[in-house]
Structures are given as C-alpha cells and as structure tokens.
Amino acid sequence: MSEKLKLNNQVCFPLYTLAKEVINLYRPILTELDLTYPQYLVMLVLWEEGAQKVSDIGCLLKLETGTLTPLLKRMEQKNMIKRRRDVEDERVVKISLTDNGIELKKKAECVPVQIIQSLNISPDKVQAFKEVAEEILNHINSSRTTA
C-alpha cells in the first residue's frame, strides 16, 4: 500500500490528536473556574488587553463570528463578561469584564503551572515545539494572504 496514506506517516494526525488531548488536560482544571478552553482564551485576551471588540477577539484567537457570538453569550450568561453596543459605531459590540470576570483572574494564575507540569516535558523542547508551530502558522497565514 502507498506509504503516504499510512496513519503512522501522517504529520497532521499527531498534531490533531495532541491538540485534543491537551484540551482534555485543561478540562478538569478549567471546569473549576467554570470555563471551557476557548472561553479561557477569551479571558486571557480581556485580562491582558482590557475591553475588546468582538472582531478583535476573533482576530487574536483566529475564531469566526459564528463561533464567537454564541460563546460570548454563554460567558455573558455566566456573568463573566458584558456585551455592549458601541455608541460611536452601532455595528460594534464591545466585550468587557465584569467584576466577577476580573476576580476570576486570581483563580486562573495557577492554571499555566499545572498544565506545564502535566505536559511533563523539558522547557527547551516545549519552546522549540512552540516555535515550529508558530513558524508553520506564519507560513499558512502568509500564503493565504498571498494567494
């Protein structure tokens, strides 16, 4: 059989599996904060950058509006964020943290440490891995804009 179609020779399969497994690693930890992984990413953005437009969050996290709108509504239901139309431009929806959302950051401080520990891999390799991932991402994104 053609070697190229063998599962073990697929490059993207371990990537696909690892991404899922890592999210599964986050799941029990984030459940403590009543967050899912993509919701956690939204919180990271808001904690770091402050109030953001929906489109800004989408741009930073590479998520479409069809994903973000319902996700943000669920976070609003949980009283972590506020969704407000911009008075300057009524098309824009500004996402900001509630007091609860701000407060949640304290509980989140320990999340990255726990994850790094359970990944159980040398910091060097983690860093190298991250860099290759980002390099491939850049390739993909630049070839998209070029095309």
Q: Would you tell me which residues interact with its own copies (CB under 8 A)? A: 1-2, 4-7, 9-23, 25-26, 37, 41, 44-45, 47-48, 60-62, 105, 108-109, 111-113, 115-116, 118-121, 125-126, 128-130, 132-137, 139-141, 143
Write down the least CB distance from residue 84 to its own copies, Å: 23
Q: Is 9 in the site for DNA (CB under 7 A)?
A: no
37-49 helix and 54-61 helix, angle to the nearest 10 degrees: 110
- Of the pair 1, 87, the CB lying nearest its own copies is at 1
Beta bridge partners of 83: 95
51, 94 Cβ separation under 8 angstroms: yes
Q: Which of 5, 7, 89, 109 binds DNA (CB under 7 A)?
A: 89
Contacting residue, 9, 20, 125, 137, with DNA by CB under 7 A: 20
Q: What residue type is 56 in one-letter code? A: D
Phi and psi at 82, nearest 5°, equal -115, 145
Cα dihedral sign, 65-67-69-72: negative
84 binds DNA per the rule CB under 7 A: no
Residue 69 or 98: the one with the smaller Cβ distance to DNA is: 69
Contacts 24+ apart (CB under 8 A), 111-114: 111/26, 111/29, 111/30, 111/33, 111/40, 114/29
What the block records as the tokens of 121 is 């891999």
Instruction: Report the nearest approach of DNA to the CB of residue 16 (Å).
Output: 7
Rule CB under 7 A: is residue 90 a binding residue for DNA? yes
| Footprint of DNA (CB under 7 A) | 16, 20-21, 24, 27, 36-39, 53-55, 58, 62-72, 74, 83, 88-94
